[in-house]
A and B are shown apart, each in its own frame.
Chain A
Amino acid sequence: MTIFFNQDRLVIRLFLWVVLLLIFFASDSIAGYDYIDINNPYIKKIPIAVPLFKEMNGSMDEQTKAREASVLLSDTLEFTGYFKMIDHGAFLEHPEKQGISETAINFKNWTVIGAELLITGGLSMSGNNITMEMRLFDTFKARRLLGKKYTGGVSDQRIMIRKFCNDVMYLLTGSHGFFNSKIAFVSNSTGKKEIYISDFDGYNPRQITKSNSISLSPAWSTDGNWLAYTSYARGKPDLYIKNLKENRGCVVAKEGVNITPAWVPGQFALAATLSFSGDPEIYMLTGDGKVIKRVTRNWGIDVSPSFSPDGRKMAFVSKRSGNPQIYSKDLSSEQEKRLTFQGKNNTTPSWSPKGDKIVYSSMEDGQFNVCMIGADGGEPKQLTSSAGDNESPTWSPDGSLIAFCSTREGVSRIYVMTSYGTEQRRLFSMPGEQTNPKWSSNNMGN
Chain B
Amino acid sequence: MQKKVLKGLSLLLMLSGLLMFISCASTDVQSTPDAPKAQLAADTTASDAGDQDAAKRALEEDAIRKEQEAAKNAFISEDVYFDYDSSTLTSSAQAVLQAKAGWLRNNPDAAIVIEGHCDERGTTEYNLALGDRRANSAKTFLVDMGIPASSFKTVSYGEEMPVDPGKTEDAFAKNRRAHFTIE
A residues sitting closer than 8 Å to B (CB atoms) are 193, 214, 216-217, 230, 235-237, 255-257, 259-260, 273, 275, 278-280, 300-304, 317, 323-324, 344-345, 347-348, 361, 363, 366, 368, 391-392, 435-436
Contacts and interface: CB of A to CB of B under 8 A. Distances in A.
A348 to B, nearest CB: 5
Given A256-B154, A345-B85, A237 B128 contact: yes
Contact of B132 (A256, A323, A345, A436): A256
B8 interface: no
Nearest to B161: A214
Contacts of A255: 153-154
Given A193-B160, A280-B133, A301-B133, A259 B128 contact: yes
Nearest to A280: B129
A348 B158 CA distance: 15
Contact of A216 (B124, B136, B140, B154): B124
A436 B125 CA distance: 9
Given A278-B136, A323-B85, A345-B85, A217 B124 contact: yes
A260 B130 CA distance: 13
A435 B132 contact: no
B126 interface: yes
Nearest to B122: A345
Given A237-B156, A323-B85, A257 B132 contact: yes
Given A275-B132, A323-B85, A301 B154 contact: no
A273 B123 CA distance: 15
Contacts of B89: none
Q: What 9 pairs across the A-B complex have the smallest Cβ distances?
A: A280-B129, A301-B129, A347-B123, A303-B129, A257-B132, A347-B126, A236-B155, A260-B125, A259-B128
Instruction: Using C-beta atoms within 8 Å of the partner chain, give the interface range for chain B.
Output: 20 to 34
A39 B121 CA distance: 35
A259 B125 contact: yes
Given A193-B160, A235-B155, A324 B126 contact: yes
A257 B129 contact: yes
A230 B128 contact: yes
Contacts of A345: 85, 121-122
Nearest to B131: A257
10 contacts: A214-B160, A217-B125, A236-B155, A275-B129, A275-B132, A275-B136, A278-B136, A301-B129, A304-B123, A324-B126
Contacts of A259: 125, 128-129
B121 A363 contact: yes
B154 to A, nearest CB: 6
Greatest chain B CB density within 10 A among A275, A361, A366 is at A275
Given A216-B160, A366-B121, 10 more contacts: A216-B125, A216-B128, A237-B156, A259-B129, A260-B129, A275-B132, A301-B130, A302-B129, A317-B125, A317-B126
B123 A348 contact: yes
Contact of B122 (A237, A256, A273, A324): A324
A409 to B, nearest CB: 16
A303 B124 contact: no
A20 to B, nearest CB: 40
B85 A273 contact: no
A317 B125 CA distance: 10
Nearest to B155: A236
Contacts of B123: 304, 347-348, 361, 368, 391-392
A260 B158 CA distance: 12
Interface in B106-132: 121-126, 128-132
Nearest to A256: B132
Given A193-B160, A214-B160, A348 B125 contact: yes
A280 B156 CA distance: 11
Given A273-B129, A280-B129, A323-B85, A257 B124 contact: no
Contacts of A193: 160
Contacts of B133: 279-280, 300-301
Contact of A303 (B125, B157, B160): B125
Nearest to A322: B85
A257 B121 contact: no
Contacts of B126: 301, 303-304, 317, 324, 347-348
A154 to B, nearest CB: 41
Contacts of B130: 301
A204 B85 CA distance: 38
A280 B116 CA distance: 13
Contacts of B155: 235-237
Nearest to A230: B128
Contact of A257 (B122, B128, B153, B160): B128
Contacts of B136: 256, 275, 278-279
Contacts of A214: 157, 160
B76 to A, nearest CB: 18
A321 B133 CA distance: 16
